[in-house]
Structure 1
């Protein structure tokens, strides 16, 4: 997958931008708050349909404007793909894939694949289980639209079951929603188990490489239940769930264990170790996506290099060969040794190509 063009209009602080990334490494350089991250976010929005920074679409529309537009054109092994998203202050977003409007968000998944690592990515390690579930769900949804729809079915059943629990309902009505919860939940659990097993194998090798083999990362799936026992455990928990008015069993309570040297990375890892673990997970996503789709996704790196020591930075750069990378930095000296093919200077929401062909 290669992003060939990004066009942006009235997106955050960017009035208009037309970016032609290189198939290798493209850099957005500039001071903070100039718009570098906004351009990465725009690409990721076209990959996933979501911003990694906010759930409020109004924040994505330039101040004083009513409509923002983002368009990504990419080449894949299946041909050219185009994703266009229009955000409005007064109506629902409009999304087109290859020029045709889509009705469901799931139809966007997998059209343009991308992996993003931003400062917020440390939440995977530092925050609670909800952040790690979000990480798994976002990447699996890109790979398998069927997983995205299973998440939607599960969320709907979980909400309905919660309302019934709060109303004190029992009997056939609760049985019916339990059945839907189990059906969708079993699909989610199976997909997560397979994905994390593949992710873990890559993450261990990548983390060892970046850390100079000084650290060992172990990634483990920690499910609330499994496919075979979900139905029976949900039924057994019903009485307690009615008392507490909350569903206590299911994939909405899953977690991902991240161990460095056998110790919990969240509790005992240093900032540098946690960052390396998070980056290793993101690079592992690249490999799993390539295995699944037959091509590398685009890698989006937001101010990553400046936070790494020189040795880890060098190891990371070595692992970027063959992958389209779009990254941001404030100081190009942080990228010494990186094979930069194109450099854009970003200032006050404007992008100027200063190195490579515009």
Structure 2
């Protein structure tokens, strides 16, 4: 999918913006605080119906406004032109594709897949287990058609079992929800394991290109003791879960134990090293999606130069310009724009974004 035109009204600090986008490389230049990241955020909101910066929708509309609107003119891999509209106010979201209402937001993400390359917002190495589960699940959502069904069924059963635990429900009620959790949870576990295994060769390729020379080991942790099945584990934890009022094991507690030279990565890397390792993971994920589906996401890259020296920025920028995906990248200075790229440039000052001529 390619974005040709991006427009917004009353989004963040912009009264209005209108961008005619380059099909490959788009650079947004401006000082800190001018609103560069907000333009990336607008694309993210169009794709997922939510922001990567806040969970409070009212913070997305301009001061003094009570709603915002986003519009995008797109083309799919077959060249068909599409119009996507999103309007948001205190009552909720209204999303339309070709003027037809979209009732389920998850229907938009496959149409407009977006990958955010920002280690601050996707802290795979030093972040929480939840961040690493999101990494796995985003990748699976876009390459494995069965994934979303099993994930939805598991999450529903998990919520119902937690409610039953808090209500001191009978054993038979808990067992019923546990059976559903095990059925779908084991499939999720198998998918995640296989995905991580297949991703690792690509990860090795990109870490070498980004001069991440230390050894890497990624151990998938399923969210329950390895020596027991999920069914055995959830049964043995039932009494403890009753006391706690929530389910303490399962795929919703899974993680990736990332070790660099045998040491937990979160305790081993500088900020710059952490950033390069995270980029390696995310670029590998994009390459894997292309390999499996012959599609690639729209890539959003916020301030990639910070905490990278010139040599490492040169390596990263070379990889970015070689990506087949459409990209939107923010920079504070035009001297960092890769000279080998064919690109469009937008300047953001204290006024709405405008295309540099």
The TM-score normalised by the length of structure 2 is 0.91
Counterpart in the other structure of 2:50: 50
Partner of 1:319: 319
Report the alpha carbon displacement of residue 257 of structure 1 after superposing the two structures with TM. Answer: 2.1
Residue of structure 1 equivalent to 2:213:
214
1:156 Cα deviation from its structure 2 partner: 2.6
Counterparts of 1:98 and 1:203 in 2: how far apart (Å)?
38
Deviation string, structure 1 residues 184-234 (Cα, Å, up to 9, x no partner): 3223223322322233221221011111x63333333221248x9222221
CA distance in 1, matches of 2:233, 2:351: 53
The whole-number CA distance in structure 2 between the counterparts of 1:239 and 1:190 is 27
User: In the alignment, which residue of structure 2 is the partner of 1:334?
Assistant: 336
**SS of equivalent residue, structure 2 residue 348:** strand
Alignment of 1:69 with 2:75, yes or no, is no
Structure 2, unmatched stretches of 5+, are none
Q: Does 1:11 align with 2:14?
A: no
Residues matched between the structures, number: 352
Higher mean alpha-carbon deviation, 137-146 vs 254-263, is at 137-146
Tell me: CA distance 1:123–1:142, structure 2 relative to 1, closer, same or farther (3 Å).
same
Deviation at 1:145, TM superposition (A): 6.4
Q: Once the 2 structures are TM-superposed, how far is the Cα of residue 349 of structure 1 from its aligned partner?
A: 4.8
Shift of 1:343: 0.9
* 1:344–1:353 contact (8 Å) kept in structure 2: yes
Give the drift of 1:52: 0.9
Q: 2:237 matched to which residue of 1? A: 237
The Cα of 1:162 is off from its aligned counterpart by 1.7
Partner of 2:254: 254
TM norm structure 1: 0.90
Asked if structure 1 preserves the Cα contact closer than 8 Å seen for 2:143 and 2:292, the reply is yes
Instruction: Give the gaps of 5 or more residues in structure 1.
Output: none
Provide the rounded CA distance (Å) in 2 between the counterparts of 1:118 and 1:230: 34
1:106/1:148 contact within 8 Å kept: no
Residues in 2 aligned to 1:298 and 1:35: alpha-carbon distance in whole angstroms: 20
What secondary structure is seen at the aligned counterpart in 2 of 1:317?
helix
- Any conservation in 1 of the 2:223–2:251 contact (CA below 8 Å)? yes
The 3 A distance-change label for structure 1 pair 115 and 62 is same
Residue matched to 2:346: 344
Contact persistence 1:13–1:348 (CA under 8 A): no
| Alpha-carbon distance in 1 for matches of 2:60, 2:96 | 18
The answer on 1:87 being equivalent to 2:97 is no
The Cα offsets for residues 256-301 of structure 1, whole Å up to 9 and x where unpaired, read as 1222223221111121211111111111121122123312222111
SS at match of 2:33: coil
Contact kept, 8 Å, 1:317 with 1:338, in 2: the verdict is: no
How far residue 250 of structure 1 moved from its aligned partner, in angstroms, is: 0.5
